[in-house]
Chains A and B, each alone.
Chain A
Amino acid sequence: MSRQQLDARRMLCPMPVIKTQNQVAAMQVGDEVEVICTDPGALNDIPAWARINGHSVIDTVQDEDEIRITVRVGA
């Protein structure tokens, strides 16, 4: 199992979703990717994208400037 990071800061949605989608496509089931973003839209869009594509959001951390969303790759 690998854990990767994805820098999507300053990108506006749907770019953080697209970057996450493309990174996940190259990962294995059970791998995790932590997406760092600044667009609050990602708080809604990345979980929605994960739900419809069979992945899961396992952690969300939000501070004043950044949002970190960890996605675990599903089957």
Chain B
Amino acid sequence: MTKQHKAVALISGGLDSMLAVRVLQEQGIEVEGINFYTGFCVEGHTHAIRNHDKEKQKRNNALWVAEQLGIKLHIVDVIEEYKDVLLNPKHGYGANMNPCLDCKIFMVGKAVEWVKEHHKDGFDFIVTGEVIGQRPMSQRKFTMPIISEESGADDLLLRPLCAKNLPETKPEREGWVDREKLYDFHGRNRKPQIALAKQFGLHDFASPAGGCCFLTDKSYSDKLVDLWQARNSREYELDDIMLLKVGRHIRPSEEFKLIIARDAGESKFLEGYRKQYTSLHALSHSGPMALVDGELKQEQYPLAAAIVARFGKGRSAEEVEIDIATPDQQRQQIKTAPLTADEVLQEWYV
């Protein structure tokens, strides 16, 4: 009896990986999905912390794609391991703090480990939705062999959407898949993918403009670099990188930064951190929750309070009472005039 070969596919939640799997399913190949969570992944409901995004669909696109394809999905926490990828990328960063090529090599390498662990279950090769020329850093003609080689996948890495532009891989050579039924997509033009999606009857899919990672975002990357500079260390924990996604970040001093919620949804989210961070909120007026990242000295309490007062309903009042609570819930109330818009200096905004 001929062995049924199975593949594991890197599922980001976008259209390309979805199509890559679908192309193989057309050939009768059984596929399971794998998705890596670095902490920097853009999720629909990460944004939904904010009020105005509440109506956005709160779905995890990778799970949604897996369900559309009828495949299992394994979500893997790589937060700790990913730190080395971000901090020491052999191939450098893209336009922002995005180490895209090293990231892809890392993820394919993790998939190689997964295949080795599951070889007894029939898993032999790895699939990605990569397309030559699709992304400026990681998906280029010369990066394709680098990813295959440095990940350890070698010729067990199949890219069904652009396979015809690349040398034959083992699954094609051995006849596990039919190369003739694979594709030769290239470049940034999305029309071939859209047409193929239509052919497969796929009408609803995510098309993230900035990719699926916060590190490609300039504003996010600026906040990350600011955090590292302020701490004089590039160490980070998951809470640090989650908080970079939330609120206004205002640094009036080298010693501390205020994270000020922009709406009730963010205030509620920040409240969850009150046992870890010093927090501020207005007592006399309604206003946002704010956290202090860094060290807030006693002599800086009035400045921090006046800034937080500026962003609440009391911004035009003569005086606002602000409650300051340390993580061990030692509290102090300060009555202050809110800063004016001009007094919150532009260079304080991270």
Contacts and interface: CB of A to CB of B under 8 A. Distances in A.
Interface of A: 10, 12-15, 17-18, 21, 38-41, 43-45, 48-49, 51-54
Given A41-B60, A48-B59, A53-B73, A12 B46 contact: yes
B58 A41 contact: yes
B331 interface: no
B74 A48 contact: no
A12 B75 contact: no
Contacts of A39: 45
Given A13-B43, A14-B75, A53-B73, A45 B48 contact: no
| The 8 A-B residue pairs with the shortest CB-CB distance in the complex, in nearest-first order | A41-B45, A48-B63, A45-B60, A41-B58, A10-B272, A18-B77, A52-B66, A52-B67
A12 B37 CA distance: 11
Contact of A52 (B43, B46, B63, B242): B63
Given A14-B75, A18-B76, A41 B48 contact: yes
Contact of B59 (A21, A44, A54): A44
Interface of B: 35, 37, 41, 43-46, 48, 58-60, 62-64, 66-67, 70-77, 242, 272
A52 B66 CA distance: 7
Nearest to B45: A41
Contact of B60 (A21, A38, A48, A51): A48
B60 A44 contact: yes
A-side interface mostly: helix
16 contacts: A12-B45, A12-B46, A13-B46, A14-B37, A14-B62, A17-B60, A18-B75, A18-B77, A41-B60, A44-B58, A48-B63, A49-B73, A49-B75, A52-B66, A52-B70, A52-B73
Chain A CB count within 10 A is highest, among B41, B58, B64, for B58
Chain A CB count within 10 A is highest, among B41, B45, B242, for B45
Contacts of B63: 14, 17, 45, 48-49, 52
A41 B43 contact: yes
Given A38-B272, A48-B60, A21 B74 contact: yes
B58 A12 contact: no
Contacts of B73: 49, 52-53
A51 to B, nearest CB: 6
Chain B CB count within 10 A is highest, among A13, A44, A53, for A13
Nearest to A11: B238
Contacts of A17: 60, 63, 75
A10 B58 CA distance: 16
B75 A40 contact: no
B15 to A, nearest CB: 18
A38 B46 CA distance: 13
Contacts of A44: 45, 58-60
A13 B60 contact: yes
Contacts of B242: 12
A48 B67 CA distance: 7
Contacts of B75: 14, 17-18, 21, 49
Given A14-B37, A14-B60, A52-B67, A40 B45 contact: yes
